[in-house]
Chain A
Amino acid sequence: MTYMTQSSLDTRSGTPGRAVLPGRSLMRYGFFLLIAVVFVIFALLRPTFVAPGNIHGMLMSASIAALMFLGLTWLIAAGEIDVSFMSVAALANMTVAGLVSSGAGWPLATLGGLAIGAVFGGLNAGLVAWLRLPALVITIASGALAASIAAAIGLGTSISLSTTGFVGGFLDLRVGILPVLALAVAALYAGAWLAQERLTFGRYIYAMEQNRAAVEEAGVPVNRLLFVLFLLSGLMSSLSGVLLAANLSSGQPYLGTSYFLDGLTAVLLGGMALKFGKPNVLGTLAAVIFLTGLLNGAALLGWTDSQRQIVRGSLLLIGVGLVVFARARTRKRHPA
């Protein structure tokens, strides 16, 4: 199942159009231009936007969000969907908080949080990749399960922590105004980009979205790849949940909700960058930075929750629309 459950009624074949080169590079790199423009506008309107403290804060939250959306990017690129990622992060977050507050040390708590990611990633992977059950409904259910357990750990409320352990220590490391975390995430994404572009891993992900049967017939263990992707999504989500526990000095059972829209928006909007509508890790990273800056700048300008929520929803719609539009154009150019 792809995340697009679309009927193909359009039997009309379009007239083959011609690719205009400036248009293509505008589409490829235009998103980066947009980010620069928006950031410059914010900096001009509110100089605090580029104050070191603000930049540091934005980099921290962008880094954590980027970790959470890494696995999701590849799942959507492979034509699947996962809507449990933010709840898994919340559960990992509450697990860490629960373990730490009950006296376990941070190392053990961190392992516990990551184990949660492995369990839920494995659950989704097993049900969707091996049993071929519908990904959306399964991940809605497993996400609800995770969210419910997260709430149960704190009996419905948050858990505040007195120490942030070695994780907190790591988060506090910085080089100039750059948090070490941001550097680590940048390095991770660079590695992910290489895996996506240079290794069979990335090749199979995109090939699978286009024609799963072809990849299967070529002898590639597609199910195993899907399994890895779901597992990865669970692990990365739980890692970000662990970091959030130290970053917020607390366990927040409902922190997932705010990441849900942002995750999908980042992946789909980011897909417009570089790869003409195909989700890719660098696009996701750029979109995360864009969203973080946008929401932060909007807060500095005094926008209400309502307005920011509407911006999020609209951006996601625009992202979806652009993806569909870009794909329709490329499909028209090469009628299969």
Chain B
Amino acid sequence: METDSFLSMRGIGKTFGDVRALREVDFGLRRGEIHALLGVNGAGKSTLIKILSGVYSKDAGSIRIAGEEFALGTPRAAIDAGIAVVQQHPELVGDLSGAENIFLGQESERPGFLARVDHAEIRRKAQALLSRFPIEIDLGKPVGEMSAVDREIVAILHALRLENARILILDEPTSTLTEREKQSLFGMMETLKAQGLAIIYITHHLDEVFEIADRFTVFRGGRNVATHRVDEARGGAISIPNLMLDTVAGHVFPPHSDRTDGQVVFEARGLGRTDEFRGIDLTARKGEILGIFGLVGSGLDELSKTLFGVLQPDTGELRLHGQPVMFRSPAQALKAGVFLVPGDRRTEGLSMQEDVVFNTTVANLGRASAGGFLRFGRNRRDAMALAERVDLQPRKLNRPLRGFSGGNQQKVVVAKGLYRQSDVYIFVEPTVGVDIGARAKIYGLMRELSETAAVIVMSSDCDEVFGVADRCVALYKGAPMGSPSRDLTRDHLLHAGIMGDPAR
């Protein structure tokens, strides 16, 4: 690797139990560059970041900054080495102002609890820090009242509050930002770059890499598989998706269906919720998979919750088997035959301390019991049959869910849905944190389910929606870009979802 690196990591290794999260990773970062880190979940990029920020200590390898060797290992050591980290979901105190959040823990020269909070000095220092950037925000406002991008800027300023910061790590900062907000964040990054900071930028959005980064590194399976200049990839000479995925993406997806005559099961007519989404018309049929692509902030999450009765629509209606329905709660939606595989399985889908049988049967306790009493033997047999059908690995029904990998946890959520025997299945972000093998299985199960039920897949992963669904539509800032269609190209869907440009 090049010798002019400001930060140079060599032969970094990290093992958790019997999982090798990083093997022999080399990584170099120059001053005044924005370096994008790419890779699917579990590829090793977050482990690398945690080593740099001192959350984990490395098992092997060396880290040099400006030629000086650093062991890191504790957050304090990382801060002293000049490494500033902005987490994916920055922790801020809502009632405190922006300036107070920036200097939280540094209210005074003196450490400890009995130091005077010098409000004027904090405000002055915060303003001085802010004035380094061509950005105008009101740092006197409580953070709780700020927009997402202003909060992100406060978090970056908080990370840069120390004079010695030389390396800035940004972990998916744009995930909650709108397109315009993103531009002001990128402006700030350009300024920092011009001031000589070395920036590591983690993202899932390839378009952002081309927009802002100078170089990128792709991680796969705990290794650094490639580092290139962005210019080199621009002409399409290097396929980043192929670098990121082990197998060519096409093999993951089951064949598409040609059926268009399936029975209509679930419909939305003019569905809308104020400030979230509007004018949603959908028709989900048996025999095909309907796909909706939308980034975070597009209203996709709220739409999925409305279809499932967590939220109620302000306008429009839902129809099930042709009859208008109104779900006041998920319980009503489930009873009517709608099942949601939620986007965040840890908080919405599973009881992590409970075992497979418990989690499989919990959404259909009526079926799991007779006269109110659980049918233990039968539930176990049913759970085993479902575990086989979703190919749960390992097939240990007594093991608490936290003992399974992300992909297998997701399979249990699918098994829970299968146990419910619903007429409509809604999959939200079905493969976040799911390894490639489990992904193929889950897509296969969706196709299988579509034989007997209507299947809707909603995701911020364009390739996933395009690959698995038969008809797709993009949701952009709460509005559908056209109506679901079979004849969309992938690029068309991508542009509609990212730029809101259906015609092209």
Question: Do chains A and B make direct contact within the complex (CB under 8 angstroms)?
Answer: yes
A residues with a Cβ closer than 8 A to B are 11-12, 195, 198-201, 203-204, 206-207, 210-211, 213-215, 217-220, 225, 228, 333-334, 336
Identify which of residues 83-138 in chain B touch chain A, using a CB-to-CB cut-off of 8 Å: 87, 91-96, 100-101, 104-108, 112-117
Complex contact B113–A336 (CB within 8 A): no
Complex contact A200–B108 (CB within 8 A): yes
B residues with a Cβ closer than 8 A to A are 75-76, 79, 87, 91-96, 100-101, 104-108, 112-117, 142, 144-145, 158, 305, 310-311
Distance A214 CA – B75 CA, assembled complex (angstroms) = 14
* Contacting residue for B311 out of A11, A201, A334, A336, CB 8 A: A11
* Contacting residue for B305 out of A11, A198, A201, A206, CB 8 A: A11
Complex contact B95–A210 (CB within 8 A): yes
Complex contact A215–B311 (CB within 8 A): no
Closest 5 pairs between A and B when the two form their complex, measured CB to CB: A218-B105, A214-B91, A334-B144, A201-B113, A218-B104
Q: What is the distance, in angstroms, from B207's C-beta to the closest C-beta of chain A?
A: 29
**17 other A-B residue contacts (CB within 8 Å) besides A200-B117, A210-B94, A215-B105:** A11-B310, A198-B117, A199-B113, A199-B116, A200-B112, A203-B96, A203-B100, A207-B95, A207-B104, A211-B91, A211-B94, A213-B91, A214-B91, A215-B93, A217-B87, A220-B104, A334-B142
Distance A206 CA – B113 CA, assembled complex (angstroms) = 13
Complex contact B93–A211 (CB within 8 A): yes
Q: List 20 A-B contacts (CB under 8 A).
A: A195-B114, A198-B117, A199-B115, A200-B117, A203-B107, A203-B117, A207-B96, A211-B92, A211-B93, A213-B91, A214-B92, A214-B104, A215-B105, A217-B91, A218-B105, A218-B106, A220-B104, A333-B145, A334-B94, A336-B94
Q: What is the distance, in angstroms, from B256's C-beta to the closest C-beta of chain A?
A: 34
Distance A336 CA – B145 CA, assembled complex (angstroms) = 7
Residues in A with CB closer than 8 Å to B107 are 200, 203
Distance A333 CA – B146 CA, assembled complex (angstroms) = 11
Q: What is the distance, in angstroms, from B297's C-beta to the closest C-beta of chain A?
A: 14
Residues in B with CB closer than 8 Å to A225 are 113
Q: What is the distance, in angstroms, from A40's C-beta to the closest C-beta of chain B?
A: 35
Distance A211 CA – B104 CA, assembled complex (angstroms) = 12
Residues in B with CB closer than 8 Å to A213 are 91
Known: A200-B107, A200-B108. A210 touches B117 (CB 8 A): no
Distance A207 CA – B311 CA, assembled complex (angstroms) = 31
Q: What is the distance, in angstroms, from B94's C-beta to the closest C-beta of chain A?
A: 5
Complex contact A200–B113 (CB within 8 A): yes
Residues in B with CB closer than 8 Å to A219 are 76, 79, 105
Complex contact A215–B104 (CB within 8 A): yes
Known: A11-B310, A215-B105, A218-B104. A200 touches B115 (CB 8 A): yes
Residues in B with CB closer than 8 Å to A217 are 75, 87, 91
Residues in A with CB closer than 8 Å to B87 are 217
Distance A201 CA – B96 CA, assembled complex (angstroms) = 15
Q: What is the distance, in angstroms, from A247's C-beta to the closest C-beta of chain B?
A: 31
Q: What is the distance, in angstroms, from B435's C-beta to the closest C-beta of chain A?
A: 29
Complex contact B95–A206 (CB within 8 A): yes
Residues in B with CB closer than 8 Å to A201 are 113-114
Distance A214 CA – B87 CA, assembled complex (angstroms) = 11
Residues in A with CB closer than 8 Å to B113 are 199-201, 204, 225, 228
Please give me the residue from chain B that is nearest to A210 by CB atom: B93
Q: What is the distance, in angstroms, from B454's C-beta to the closest C-beta of chain A?
A: 24
Residues in B with CB closer than 8 Å to A206 are 95
Please give me the residue from chain A that is nearest to B110 by CB atom: A200
Please give me the residue from chain B that is nearest to A220 by CB atom: B105
Q: What is the distance, in angstroms, from A214's C-beta to the closest C-beta of chain B?
A: 4
Please give me the residue from chain A that is nearest to B101 by CB atom: A214
Q: What is the distance, in angstroms, from B432's C-beta to the closest C-beta of chain A?
A: 19
Known: A199-B113, A215-B105. A334 touches B145 (CB 8 A): yes
Residues in A with CB closer than 8 Å to B310 are 11
Complex contact A214–B142 (CB within 8 A): no
Please give me the residue from chain A that is nearest to B95 by CB atom: A210
**B76, B92, B93 — which one has the most chain A CB atoms within 10 A of its CB?**
B93
Q: What is the distance, in angstroms, from B225's C-beta to the closest C-beta of chain A?
A: 32
Q: What is the distance, in angstroms, from B305's C-beta to the closest C-beta of chain A?
A: 7
Q: What is the distance, in angstroms, from A231's C-beta to the closest C-beta of chain B?
A: 12
Please give me the residue from chain A that is nearest to B96 by CB atom: A207
Known: A198-B117, A220-B104, A225-B113. A207 touches B93 (CB 8 A): yes
Residues in B with CB closer than 8 Å to A214 are 91-93, 101, 104
Q: What is the distance, in angstroms, from A143's C-beta to the closest C-beta of chain B?
A: 26
Q: What is the distance, in angstroms, from A221's C-beta to the closest C-beta of chain B?
A: 9
Distance A333 CA – B145 CA, assembled complex (angstroms) = 8
**B79, B104, B158, B310 — which one has the most chain A CB atoms within 10 A of its CB?**
B104
Complex contact A199–B114 (CB within 8 A): yes
Distance A217 CA – B108 CA, assembled complex (angstroms) = 17
Q: What is the distance, in angstroms, from B334's C-beta to the closest C-beta of chain A?
A: 16
Residues in B with CB closer than 8 Å to A11 are 305, 310-311
Please give me the residue from chain B that is nearest to A197 by CB atom: B117
**B79, B108, B117 — which one has the most chain A CB atoms within 10 A of its CB?**
B117
Q: What is the distance, in angstroms, from B458's C-beta to the closest C-beta of chain A?
A: 17
Distance A200 CA – B117 CA, assembled complex (angstroms) = 6
Distance A220 CA – B350 CA, assembled complex (angstroms) = 34
Residues in A with CB closer than 8 Å to B101 are 214
Distance A333 CA – B144 CA, assembled complex (angstroms) = 9
Distance A336 CA – B92 CA, assembled complex (angstroms) = 10
* Contacting residue for B144 out of A207, A220, A336, CB 8 A: A336
Please give me the residue from chain A that is nearest to B141 by CB atom: A334
Distance A215 CA – B94 CA, assembled complex (angstroms) = 12
Q: What is the distance, in angstroms, from A206's C-beta to the closest C-beta of chain B?
A: 7
Distance A220 CA – B96 CA, assembled complex (angstroms) = 16
Distance A67 CA – B285 CA, assembled complex (angstroms) = 70
Residues in B with CB closer than 8 Å to A218 are 104-106, 158
Please give me the residue from chain A that is nearest to B103 by CB atom: A218
Please give me the residue from chain B that is nearest to A201 by CB atom: B113
Distance A217 CA – B87 CA, assembled complex (angstroms) = 10
Q: What is the distance, in angstroms, from B304's C-beta to the closest C-beta of chain A?
A: 12
Q: What is the distance, in angstroms, from B104's C-beta to the closest C-beta of chain A?
A: 4
Residues in B with CB closer than 8 Å to A207 are 93, 95-96, 104
